[in-house]
């Protein structure tokens, strides 16, 4: 019998709106269809099966991850992979800036990052599969294409599951949230992101509800907890501890720890950050006068990582998101400088604190954009090749990996799949993504299927 390594099905289907609400994910799962999993059923591969609640892994070189996410599919041409030699309709409206690496240029809005390009790696040859927001976002966060049969956990949830909390800090934090596609999948919802909401650029920013009210005393709080224990004990005996209740229990335990740890709570504020720090991360205002949140978000992300959070997802939408079907120039010119300053500041700050070697910083988006500028001065969806950034945590420095064709349309050299990209991050954290986690129904599922870490990205 011949061997069919049938590749997953994708739907090149309708364009999903460019905003990301807490959109249901089942829909994308259906669009994804089920033919994707022939490999699943025909293949048996050796691999360690890890209990989803089992012993904690030893850490790898990287201890934590800051993932910056550009929802909408940011253009590779206007960021990390400009094509200044291409005809104007491909090149686009923006110029370039020389980087610290000889012969390498970034798009003109990334001048501060260009100056620290020797500390980061850019993968210009990421190859995705689906130019559809919901499905590609799921792919980027979980390493899998959506399936109607099972939901996969996102990277932050896997990290939370494999390493657990440190220093009373929740292992996985969303700033201000994570996309609906970044769920816990088949893992318990207790491995979900702690979404801070709120905007740290606002003067009165406080993470809600992590501190006891001033009027509450320790004695009373203890009494409340004891009373709650009494009720819980009664219910748990009756209900024989089904899984539904475990996550709830776990969140109460986490909450109590957080509330009782002043150090942990302090990490959720920007108290004590100096003017020098503010300068390092930059301060930019939107056209409407409101501050961009990215600099404060990245500063907060650094504090969280320093305090023991293992995975921070930071969402950054600029002024209008990155699904720039129209007016790409305006979107880039408005939104990128604040990111550029904050990102370069974060890398520098982590380096100065000696944290860069143990912290991976990822800059990700669900796909790139079409080689040619369209009729409305924008670019449309393009999953075939796009750029992502990796820095720190033992990743190479000053490495521009992969080469795209003259119009950034195809990967000419060293293509890196989304699976490979995630596998590289997992590898640095000490997670072998060929290991499998046990999903309900005793179904062992690869952490990432078919991904191999990229040796050339590891320094």
Residues 177-196 that bind other proteins (CB under 8 A): 184, 189-190, 192, 194-195
Is there binding between residue 374 and other proteins (CB under 8 A)?
Answer: no
Q: Which of residues 11-30 bind other proteins (CB under 8 A)?
A: 11-14, 21-27, 30
Cα separation, 196 vs 208, whole angstroms: 8
Cα separation, 322 vs 325, whole angstroms: 9
Q: What is the DSSP letter of 385?
A: S
- Interface pick for other proteins out of 111, 254, 396, 414 (rule CB under 8 A): 254
- Interface pick for other proteins out of 33, 47, 176, 459 (rule CB under 8 A): 33
Residues whose CB falls within 8 Å of the CB of residue 315, separated by 6 or more in sequence, listed in order: 69, 71, 174, 175, 176, 177, 178, 179
Distance of closest approach, residue 40 Cβ to other proteins, in angstroms: 7
Distance of closest approach, residue 139 Cβ to other proteins, in angstroms: 11
Q: Which of residues 207-226 bind other proteins (CB under 8 A)?
A: 208-213, 220, 223-226
Query: Which conformational region is residue 329 in: left (phi greater than 0), alpha (psi within -120 to 50 degrees), or beta?
Result: alpha
Quick note: the x/- pattern for other proteins over 114-133, rule CB under 8 A, is: ---------------xxx--
- Interface pick for other proteins out of 66, 123, 136, 258 (rule CB under 8 A): 258
β-pairing verdict for 194-195 and 172-175: parallel
Quick note: the x/- pattern for other proteins over 161-180, rule CB under 8 A, is: ---------x----------
3-state secondary structure of 200: coil
Is there binding between residue 241 and other proteins (CB under 8 A)?
Answer: no
Distance of closest approach, residue 364 Cβ to other proteins, in angstroms: 21
Is there binding between residue 235 and other proteins (CB under 8 A)?
Answer: yes
- Interface pick for other proteins out of 43, 45, 228, 285 (rule CB under 8 A): 228
Is there binding between residue 148 and other proteins (CB under 8 A)?
Answer: yes
Instruction: Give one DSSP letter per residue of 295-311, joined into a string.
Output: HHHHHHHHHHHHHT--E
Q: How many residues bind other proteins (CB under 8 A)?
A: 82
Handedness of CA 209, 215, 221, 227 (dihedral sign): negative
Tell me how far apart the terminal alpha carbons of the chain are, to the nearest angstrom: 43
Is the Cβ of residue 174 or residue 392 nearer to other proteins in the bound state?
A: 174
Cβ atoms 153, 185 nearer than 8 A: yes
Distance of closest approach, residue 120 Cβ to other proteins, in angstroms: 29
Q: What is the DSSP letter of 291?
A: B
- Interface pick for other proteins out of 61, 164, 251, 405 (rule CB under 8 A): 251
- Interface pick for other proteins out of 96, 104, 115, 255 (rule CB under 8 A): 255
Q: What is the DSSP letter of 87?
A: -
Question: Interior CA angle at 180 toward 178 and 185, to 5°?
Answer: 100
User: How many residues are listed for the chain in this entry?
Assistant: 459
Question: Interior CA angle at 178 toward 127 and 119, to 5°?
Answer: 55
Is there binding between residue 104 and other proteins (CB under 8 A)?
Answer: no
Cβ atoms 420, 434 nearer than 8 A: no
Distance of closest approach, residue 38 Cβ to other proteins, in angstroms: 7
Distance of closest approach, residue 290 Cβ to other proteins, in angstroms: 18
């Amino acid at each position: 019998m011949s061997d069919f390594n049938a590749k997953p099905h994708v739907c090149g289907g309708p364009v999903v709106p460019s905003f990301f609400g807490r959109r249901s994910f089942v829909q994308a799962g259906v669009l994804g269809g089920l033919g994707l999993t022939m490999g699943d059923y025909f293949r048996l591969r050796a691999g360690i099966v890890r209990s989803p609640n089992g012993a904690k892994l030893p850490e790898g070189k990287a201890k934590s991850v800051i993932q910056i996410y550009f929802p909408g599919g940011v253009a590779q041409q206007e960021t990390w992979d400009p094509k200044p030699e291409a005809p104007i309709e491909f090149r686009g409206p923006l110029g370039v800036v020389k980087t610290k690496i000889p012969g390498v240029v970034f798009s003109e809005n990334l001048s501060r990052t260009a100056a620290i390009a020797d500390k980061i790696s850019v993968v210009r040859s990421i190859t995705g599969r689906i130019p559809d927001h919901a499905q590609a976002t799921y792919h980027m966060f979980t390493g899998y294409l959506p399936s109607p049969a099972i939901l996969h956990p996102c990277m932050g949830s896997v990290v939370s599951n494999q390493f657990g909390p440190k220093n009373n800090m929740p292992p996985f934090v969303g700033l201000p949230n994570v996309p609906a596609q970044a769920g816990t999948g088949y893992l318990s919802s207790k491995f979900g992101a702690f979404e801070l909401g709120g905007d740290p650029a606002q003067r009165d920013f406080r993470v809600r509800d992590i501190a006891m009210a001033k009027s509450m005393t320790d004695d009373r709080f203890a009494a409340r907890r004891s009373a709650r224990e009494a009720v819980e004990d009664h219910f748990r005996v009756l209900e024989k501890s089904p899984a539904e209740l475990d996550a709830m229990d776990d969140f109460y335990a986490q909450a109590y720890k957080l509330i009782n740890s002043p150090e942990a709570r302090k990490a959720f504020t920007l108290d004590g950050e100096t003017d020098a720090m503010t300068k390092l991360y930059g301060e930019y205002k939107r056209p409407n006068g409101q501050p961009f949140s990215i600099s404060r978000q990245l500063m907060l992300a650094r504090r969280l990582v320093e305090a023991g959070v293992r995975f921070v997802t930071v969402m950054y939408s600029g002024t209008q998101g990155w699904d720039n079907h129209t007016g790409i120039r305006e979107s880039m010119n408005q939104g990128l400088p604040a990111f550029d300053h904050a990102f370069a500041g974060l890398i520098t700050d982590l380096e100065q604190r000696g944290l860069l070697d143990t912290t991976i910083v990822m800059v990700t988006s669900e796909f790139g954009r079409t080689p040619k500028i369209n009729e409305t001065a924008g670019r449309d969806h393009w999953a075939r090749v796009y750029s992502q950034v990796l820095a720190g945590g033992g990743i190479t420095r000053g490495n521009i990996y992969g080469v795209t064709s003259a119009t950034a349309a195809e990967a000419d050299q060293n293509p890196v799949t989304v699976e490979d990209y995630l596998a590289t991050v997992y590898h640095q954290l000490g997670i072998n993504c060929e290991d499998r986690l046990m999903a309900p129904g005793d179904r062992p599922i690869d952490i990432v299927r078919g991904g191999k870490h990229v040796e050339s990205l590891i320094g």
